[in-house]
Amino acid sequence: MPTRRDVIRSCALAPLAAPFVSRAARAEAGYDRYPEGPIYSICPFPAGSGADTKVRFYGAKLQAIAGKPVIVENKPGALGNIATEAVARAKPDGYTIYIAPGSSTLAAAPSLFKTLGYDPIRDFRSITTLSSSAFLLCVAGESPFKSVPELTDYLKAKGGDASYGSIAPPGLVASEIYKAQFGLQTVEVKYRDQGSMLNDLHGGAISFCHIDITTVAGQLKEGKVRGLALTSAKPLKAAPGIPGAEEAGIPNMDVVTWWSVHVPAKTPTPICDRLEAWFNTIAVEPDTVAFNASVGSDVMPGNHAMLDALLARQTRLWHDYARIAKIEPM
């Protein structure tokens, strides 16, 4: 039984302990209330683009699960650098997020630019992966080529008189890997927009191109372009009937693209954990799977540790890609 002295002592200490308990409770309660206002999702692409549609899809899904508005802010330009830097410099409070193709906006950036206004690894916290896809080796729908070997034989015969189109770094890398595997002399033709490149593909000015499968999903269905192989080694569930590079006969090819979620560095761990759980719930919902399939992507739920490892590995890999494709940093 406690003595009178024990009771007096405990009463005396109680006021000293109470402030510390209440501060901890208030801090925890603050994270429990997240989000208390709008979340801003920074998009590195123009409004109305295919990538913007994807950002808005995930933003709407997050809004439904978080119970607060998710506002998309488009900051296009400089291959995503403007948006990426804006996120890196944002307040780390969980109210600015980055839903983006991390394979290009983060992993590839150090190999594409001489200087960056941010560090792709140190200035962000990883939340999780969302989806994976690949570029597509495609020819015109009316082209006589039905397989990679048929196209390769033609390109070998034409030597430097044949050309291919490029517009995005992953496409250029994939084309140069393809050329290197078979000793092709096919000449690169650079394009500023996908429409012009596809017009020249249909007109026969270029023999092939590697292009984001999302961009040509509609034309694939209509037969206007023919996909001979994916740039990923293995096939995608979302691209039935199109072989992976390995099956198509292109060795040493595994150029993949992936979407992920990031927040500014120093964003509190409880908020990051909540976002990770929400996005992984979103990633496997039936309408998310269907949406990704419609744009040639497979869902790719993960976690922050998996994304950290993927980003580090792909950043190193892009140094090799840049060397193979002879990409001079801008």
pLDDT in tens, 6-58: 433 444 444 444 444 444 444 454 688 999 999 999 999 999 888 899 999 99
Please give the pLDDT value at position 28.
52
Q: What's at 109, amino acid-wise?
A: A
Mean pLDDT, residues 64-81 taken together: 95
Looking at per-residue pLDDT, the higher value among 12 and 75 belongs to 75
Please give the pLDDT value at position 178.
96
Please give the pLDDT value at position 9.
45
pLDDT in tens, 296-312: 899 999 999 999 999 99
State the span(s) of the chain assigned CATH 3.40.190.150: 39-132+256-324
The correct CATH number of 134-248 out of 3.40.50.20, 3.40.190.10, 3.30.365.10, 3.10.20.740 is 3.40.190.10
In this model, does residue 1 exceed pLDDT 80?
no
What is the number of alpha carbons within 13 Å of residue 114 lying toward its C-beta? 3
Please give the pLDDT value at position 14.
44
User: In this structure, are residues 130 and 259 in contact, taking their beta carbons and an 8 Å threshold?
Assistant: yes
Between 11-15, 56-60, 135-139, 217-221, the lowest mean confidence (pLDDT) is in 11-15
Please give the pLDDT value at position 93.
96
Q: From CA 161, how far away is CA 169, in angstroms rounded?
A: 23
In this model, does residue 252 exceed pLDDT 50?
yes
In this model, does residue 89 exceed pLDDT 90?
yes
Mean pLDDT, residues 121-139 taken together: 96
**Percentage, residues of the chain above pLDDT 90:** 78
| Summary mean pLDDT of the chain | 90
Confidence tier at 143 by pLDDT (50, 70, 90): very high
State the SS3 of the chain: CCCHHHHHHHHHHHHHHHHHHHHHHHHHHHHHCCCCCCEEEEECCCCCCHHHHHHHHHHHHHHHHHCCCEEEEECCCHHHHHHHHHHHCCCCCCCEEEEECHHHHHHCHHHHCCCCCCCCCCCEEEEEEEEEEEEEEEEECCCCCCCHHHHHHHHHHHHHHCEEEECCHHHHHHHHHHHHHHCCCCEEEECCCHHHHHHHHHHCCCCEEEEECCCCHHHHHHCCEEEEEECCCCCCCCCCCCCCHHHHCCCCCCCEEEEEEEEECCCCHHHHHHHHHHHHHHHCCHHHHHHHHHCCCEECCCCHHHHHHHHHHHHHHHHHHHHHCCCCCC
In this model, does residue 263 exceed pLDDT 90?
yes
Q: Which CATH class is domain 39-132+256-324?
A: alpha beta
Confidence tier at 100 by pLDDT (50, 70, 90): very high
Dig out the tokens for 238 from the structure: 């979302």
Mean pLDDT, residues 210-216 taken together: 88
State the span(s) of the chain assigned CATH 3.40.190.10: 134-248
